[in-house]
């Protein structure tokens, strides 16, 4: 039941008063919305069915295909693309939700597209040739006079990012206004550490199947906060910024992710440049109003009837003449059996370990080790523009400084449009819950059990610190919940990065242990592809894993 509360009672009025404005009694009852985009109960059918011990009914229909792809996220779509480019069209894809795309799906609010997950892609380097080829196929980059050029319509427009800090907006996300000299000294020290790391070893994305240096394995064995302690980097503003970066990319902060992950964020991309120090121009970002769904929708379009949505994969087993997959059709409420020569298991590791019958020990071990970050994505529809605080102009990415909050600010879905006269828009707010009480399981429980109205009021109160008129201009809040959004790159005592041994670590193993899962199980008709195997979730890792699994 929707409870009527005045503006002050929800915390929004308190936020308004805190910034020196006269609070106005106002209700949030006019703000509609709900949970959308992902249906957690579908995945729970698998869990509850396995726990009940009652088993599943016999399949009503049997389908045959040469290759079956289980999972329609980025990895599964990349595998389908690899098959298509080979001229092989005898394949099918099973996807849990009503559309493919995984964490890169989108929706609309009053005709305005907005992301329900990932919202940008850094321009890929030469270590990600598969991603580069995709962008070329989609017309996002072309070769002009021997050099690659990107279509500027899809590059993130300026201003790109800003931070609400000390009561006003500033350019960039590193806290600068009013910080002391000692803070700037620590900024410079961390900048030198990142540059030293960039020059001493190679930092690549994707990382799997690449040789890694001993120093990188050493960093993977400790937390990022332990690394900062070792180097005396204790400034609270620096730590807030680094914590924000880790939560933004990995779903958890500096006390949870490995030092390798913390350094990889900067060393594999644009580095870290303190104010006043020599810097280089940051690499561009590709982004769209609907986020990375712009990419996944185009990857899914050629599949046509080969894409089967609303399918809950229940069982994958190697049979005498191939592989059998049982899936529950949520539309017809019936069980289907698929028979294939090979199956690309593009499912999260914890799901794969449940549905693969008699899973090999490496899969069991990977499932025990992986830690997932719960995520919340809230799309907030505004009927008219917000009043802005002093300082930097409205940007694509807008972050509010708060050392205790879980929010990651918001992106503006209409920023790429550069409308001369601002109008209605959608703000997409992100909240990572991987650090909740140090236990992602508690964060997941909180994510799924709290009512939509509580999330709505908490999010609006958080953002009202910078926009006290937010609630009065909001018409709808749609919230997408991901209980297992991404694998968190936590430390491993042996320095392993990801869930499979890296290339130079495999060279020390026996032949039976040496090969990645997709090679080791090829004879059983199963090949594994998911960003989980890299140990962290980004488009480049998922796409490369899926493409190479089917290539």
CATH number of the domain residue 440 falls in:
3.90.660
Between 313-317, 318-322, 435-439, the lowest mean confidence (pLDDT) is in 435-439
| 46 band by pLDDT with thresholds 50, 70 and 90 | low
Q: What is the pLDDT of residue 503?
A: 44
The C-alpha atoms of residue 538 and residue 249 are separated, in whole angstroms, by: 8
Assess whether 47 and 21 both reside in one domain.
no
Asked if the model's pLDDT at residue 207 lies above 90, the reply is no
Q: What is the pLDDT of residue 513?
A: 39
Between 107-121, 193-207, 432-446, 537-551, the lowest mean confidence (pLDDT) is in 432-446
Last residue of a domain, one of 469, 487, 505: 487
| 54 band by pLDDT with thresholds 50, 70 and 90 | low
CB atoms within 10 A of CB 49: 15
What is the tally of structural domains in the chain? 3
Assess whether 249 and 351 both reside in one domain.
no
Assess whether 28 and 51 both reside in one domain.
no
Task: Find the CATH number of the domain harbouring 274.
Answer: 1.10.405
Assess whether 79 and 216 both reside in one domain.
no
Between 18-27, 92-101, 232-241, 435-444, the lowest mean confidence (pLDDT) is in 18-27
Joined tokens for residue 497: 């990065």
In a domain, 379, yes or no: yes
Nearest CA among 1, 3, 8, 4 for reference residue 461:
8
The C-alpha atoms of residue 258 and residue 54 are separated, in whole angstroms, by: 41
Q: What is the pLDDT of residue 2?
A: 33
In a domain, 230, yes or no: yes
Taking the model in full, what pTM does it have?
0.89
Q: What is the pLDDT of residue 48?
A: 63
| Mean pLDDT taken over the chain | 86
Kind plus residue range of the DSSP H or E element containing 250: helix 236-250
Pairwise pLDDT comparison (437 vs 81), residue with the higher score: 81
Assess whether 19 and 64 both reside in one domain.
no
Eight-state DSSP code of residue 151: -
Assess whether 209 and 254 both reside in one domain.
yes
Domain span at 318: 42-108+291-369+492-550
In a domain, 267, yes or no: yes
Query: Is 169 in a helix, a strand, or coil?
Result: strand
Pairwise pLDDT comparison (148 vs 194), residue with the higher score: 194
Cα atoms found within 13 Å of the Cα of residue 34, Cβ hemisphere only: 6
Assess whether 228 and 183 both reside in one domain.
yes
Between 201-205, 297-301, 395-399, the lowest mean confidence (pLDDT) is in 201-205
In a domain, 118, yes or no: no
Asked if the model's pLDDT at residue 545 lies above 50, the reply is yes
In a domain, 139, yes or no: no
Pairwise pLDDT comparison (251 vs 147), residue with the higher score: 251
Assess whether 448 and 471 both reside in one domain.
yes
Contacts of residue 54, Cβ cutoff 8 Å, sequence gap at least 6: none
Cis previous bond, 430, omega within 30: no
Assess whether 180 and 279 both reside in one domain.
yes
In a domain, 125, yes or no: no
CB atoms within 10 A of CB 84: 16
Q: Are 368 and 99 in contact (CB under 8 A)?
A: no
Which of 9-13, 35-39, 62-66, 491-495 shows the highest mean pLDDT?
Answer: 62-66
Tell me the pLDDT tens digit for each residue of 442-490.
888 999 999 999 999 999 999 999 999 999 999 999 999 999 999 999 9
Assess whether 271 and 318 both reside in one domain.
no
Last residue of a domain, one of 232, 266, 284: 284
Nearest CA among 134, 105, 85 for reference residue 37:
105
The C-alpha atoms of residue 106 and residue 117 are separated, in whole angstroms, by: 7
Assess whether 400 and 439 both reside in one domain.
yes
- In this prediction, residues 151-155 reach a mean pLDDT of 93
Asked if the model's pLDDT at residue 511 lies above 50, the reply is no
Between 75-84, 178-187, 202-211, the lowest mean confidence (pLDDT) is in 202-211
- In this prediction, residues 126-131 reach a mean pLDDT of 92
Last residue of a domain, one of 472, 487, 502: 487
In a domain, 399, yes or no: yes
Asked if the model's pLDDT at residue 23 lies above 60, the reply is no
| 9 band by pLDDT with thresholds 50, 70 and 90 | very low
- In this prediction, residues 486-498 reach a mean pLDDT of 91
Asked if the model's pLDDT at residue 282 lies above 80, the reply is no
The C-alpha atoms of residue 22 and residue 127 are separated, in whole angstroms, by: 54
In a domain, 184, yes or no: yes
Assess whether 445 and 304 both reside in one domain.
no
Task: Find the CATH number of the domain harbouring 89.
Answer: 3.50.50.60
């Amino acid at each position: 039941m929707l409870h009527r509360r005045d503006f002050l009672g929800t915390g929004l009025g308190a936020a308004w008063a805190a910034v020196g404005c006269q609070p106005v009694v106002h209700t949030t009852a006019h703000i509609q919305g709900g949970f959308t985009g992902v249906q957690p109960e579908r995945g729970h059918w698998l869990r509850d069915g396995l726990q009940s011990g009652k088993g599943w009914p016999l399949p009503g229909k049997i389908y045959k295909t040469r290759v079956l792809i289980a999972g329609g996220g980025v990895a599964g779509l990349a595998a389908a693309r690899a098959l298509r480019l080979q001229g092989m069209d005898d394949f099918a894809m099973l996807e849990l939700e009503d559309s493919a795309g995984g964490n890169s799906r989108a929706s609309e609010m009053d005709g305005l597209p907005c992301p329900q997950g990932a919202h940008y892609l850094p321009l890929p380097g030469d270590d990600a040739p598969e991603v580069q080829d995709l962008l070329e196929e989609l017309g996002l980059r072309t070769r002009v006079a021997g050099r690659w050029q990107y279509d500027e319509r899809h590059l993130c427009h300026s201003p790109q990012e800003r931070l609400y800090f000390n009561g006003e907006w500033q350019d960039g996300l590193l806290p600068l206004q009013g910080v002391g000299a000692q803070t700037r000294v620590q900024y410079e020290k961390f900048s030198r550490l990142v540059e030293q790391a960039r020059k001493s070893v190679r930092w690549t994305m994707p990382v799997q199947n690449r040789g890694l240096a001993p120093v990188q394995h050493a960093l993977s064995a400790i937390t990022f906060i332990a690394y900062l302690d070792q180097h005396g980097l204790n400034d609270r503003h620096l730590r807030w910024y680094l914590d924000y970066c880790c939560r933004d990319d990995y779903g958890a902060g500096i006390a949870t992710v490995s030092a390798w992950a913390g350094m990889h964020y900067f060393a594999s991309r644009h580095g870290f440049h303190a104010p006043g120090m020599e810097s280089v121009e940051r690499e561009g970002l590709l982004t769209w109003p609907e986020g990375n769904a712009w990419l996944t929708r185009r990857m899914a379009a050629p599949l046509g009837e080969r894409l089967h949505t609303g399918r809950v994969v229940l069982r994958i087993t190697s049979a005498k003449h191939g592989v059998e997959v049982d899936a529950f059709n949520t539309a017809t409420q019936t069980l289907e059996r698929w028979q294939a020569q090979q199956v690309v298991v593009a499912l999260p590791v914890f799901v794969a370990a449940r549905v693969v019958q008699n899973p090999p020990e490496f899969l069991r071990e990977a499932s025990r080790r992986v830690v997932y970050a719960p995520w919340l994505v809230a799309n907030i529809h505004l009927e008219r523009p917000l009043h802005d605080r002093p300082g930097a102009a409205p940007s694509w990415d807008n972050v509010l400084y708060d050392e205790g909050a879980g929010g990651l600010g918001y992106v503006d879905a209409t920023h790429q449009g550069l409308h001369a006269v601002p109008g209605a828009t959608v703000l997409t707010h992100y909240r990572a819950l991987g650090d909740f009480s140090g236990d992602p399981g508690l964060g997941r429980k909180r994510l799924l059990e709290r009512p939509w109205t509580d999330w709505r009021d908490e999010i609006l109160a958080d953002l009202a610190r910078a926009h006290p008129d937010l609630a009065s201009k909001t018409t709808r809040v749609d919230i997408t919940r991901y209980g297992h959004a991404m694998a968190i790159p936590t430390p491993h005592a042996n320095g392993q990065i990801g869930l499979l041994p890296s290339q130079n670590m495999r060279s020390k193993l026996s032949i039976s242990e040496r090969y990645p899962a997709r090679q080791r199980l090829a004879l059983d008709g199963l090949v594994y592809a998911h960003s989980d195997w890299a140990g962290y979730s980004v488009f480049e890792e998922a796409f490369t894993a899926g493409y190479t699994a089917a290539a």
